Structure 1
Amino acid sequence: MIEKLINHITNFIPVSKELKNRLEKVCEIEIFSKNHFLHKPNKPCLNTYFINKGLIRIYYLKDGREITDNFSAENEWITSIYSFLQNIPDHFHIQTLEKTELVRISLKDLEECFKDFPEMERFGRMLISTYFLEQSERIISLQFNSAKERYSFFEQTSKKKLPRIPLGMLASHLGMTQETLSRVRSAKNAF
């Protein structure tokens, strides 16, 4: 059941039979309905998830409003990264937006894989580097790009996710109101 995960990892590192056996032992397949919470605030996030199928968002509340930090879909990972790596509570919610099939691995099991399989630690570093670069791009985009540019970038980089994301959640992720997002989309569709 974790073939997609193994194939994903193989894109980065060779996966030995021993590593594959370990992953099959420590990973759990979980299926959740729409609007299920994988993580809630004020608790440490003890798991990371590889998404076989579905769409998930991570968000926080600010002044009673939901601010979407990220969306993850098929063949991507999701966790509350700061909480997961530091093993401390945080302020994020992780919520499924569709029926979702995940591969769950705990921090403890992941750390043991890193210890026993140096190639897996390399894979972890590559994932963290990718996450860091994506977050840096997002911060730069929010600080320097217009609403139109932010939407265009998201449209280019997240084509498969875009039609599945409610507009209000997308607007909060892009740092704009839903009204502004509607204007940007209307202007883009007018051409």
Structure 2
Amino acid sequence: MSHHLIRHIERFIPVSEQLAARLQQIGKEHTLEKGAYLHKPNRVCTTTYFIEKGLVRVFYRKGEKEITDQFSAEGEWITSIHSFLKNVPDACYIQTLEPSALMGIDLQQLEQCFLDFPEMERFGRMLMSTYFLEQSERIISLQFHTAKERYEFFLKTAKHKATRVPLGMLASHLGMTQETLSRIRAEKDAF
């Protein structure tokens, strides 16, 4: 198992040798090409993934249109949060946008790890708090900010992803048309 995951967790909690050994035991390495699916609709998502390398997105389909909900890159987690937490099928897709190396952890094994290592449960709570705060900020941005402000917010909070994400997917994520995003970028580049 890569040490990326351990170093990431150590940013939040101390990791004992016993916890590191458990993570080694339950973590499954995945090396995927660009365009691979980690999850598809009508299935229960039983795995959460830590991204060691690459870029992954969560999206939904509405007719022929794809609506991108989330992008995650190195040092971040991705899963179908609704399906993972409620153990129910959902409507989302999780797809790699670049060749990616991920560490997958099964929900049942993660829950047992939480029981056996209270510090790991604390890590889980901290991670969920971070996720819900980011989602709350995104919803506020979508509801109350102009298209230009939403793009600037994305640059401020996820600049390392901006040049890696295809324009149409980024526009969808920001709740605007591709033409609007192109115009905003052109105006920004003009200054």
* Shared fold, TM over 0.5: yes
**Structure 1 residue aligned with 2:185:** 185
1:2 positional shift: 2.5
Is 1:59 matched up with 2:59? yes
CA distance in 2, matches of 1:118, 1:172: 39
Is 1:113 matched up with 2:113? yes
**Structure 2 residue aligned with 1:91:** 91
Greater shift after overlay, 153-162 or 121-130?
153-162
Aligned CA RMSD, in angstroms, stands at 0.6
CA distance in 1, matches of 2:183, 2:3: 42
CA distance in 2, matches of 1:6, 1:149: 36
Cα distance per residue 1:58-91 (max 9 Å; x no partner) = 0001232100000000000000001001110000
What is the letter of the counterpart of residue 83 of structure 2?
S
Gaps of 5+ in 1: none
What is the letter of the counterpart of residue 8 of structure 2?
H
Gaps of 5+ in 2: none
CA distance in 1, matches of 2:181, 2:77: 27
1:157 positional shift: 1.2
CA distance in 2, matches of 1:93, 1:119: 31
In structure 2, the residue corresponding to 1:70 is in which secondary structure?
Answer: strand
What is the letter of the counterpart of residue 21 of structure 1?
A
CA distance in 1, matches of 2:62, 2:187: 29
**Structure 1 residue aligned with 2:23:** 23
CA distance in 2, matches of 1:147, 1:190: 17
**Structure 2 residue aligned with 1:68:** 68
1:1-191 to structure 2, matched below 5 A, reads 1-191=1-191
1:165 positional shift: 0.3
What is the letter of the counterpart of residue 100 of structure 1?
S
CA distance in 2, matches of 1:188, 1:146: 15
CA distance in 2, matches of 1:9, 1:80: 20
Cα distance per residue 1:109-142 (max 9 Å; x no partner) = 1001001000000000001000000000000000
Greater shift after overlay, 45-54 or 151-160?
151-160
Normalising by the residue count of structure 2, what TM-score does the alignment of the two structures yield? 0.99
1:181 positional shift: 0.3
CA distance in 2, matches of 1:9, 1:141: 29
Number of matched pairs: 191
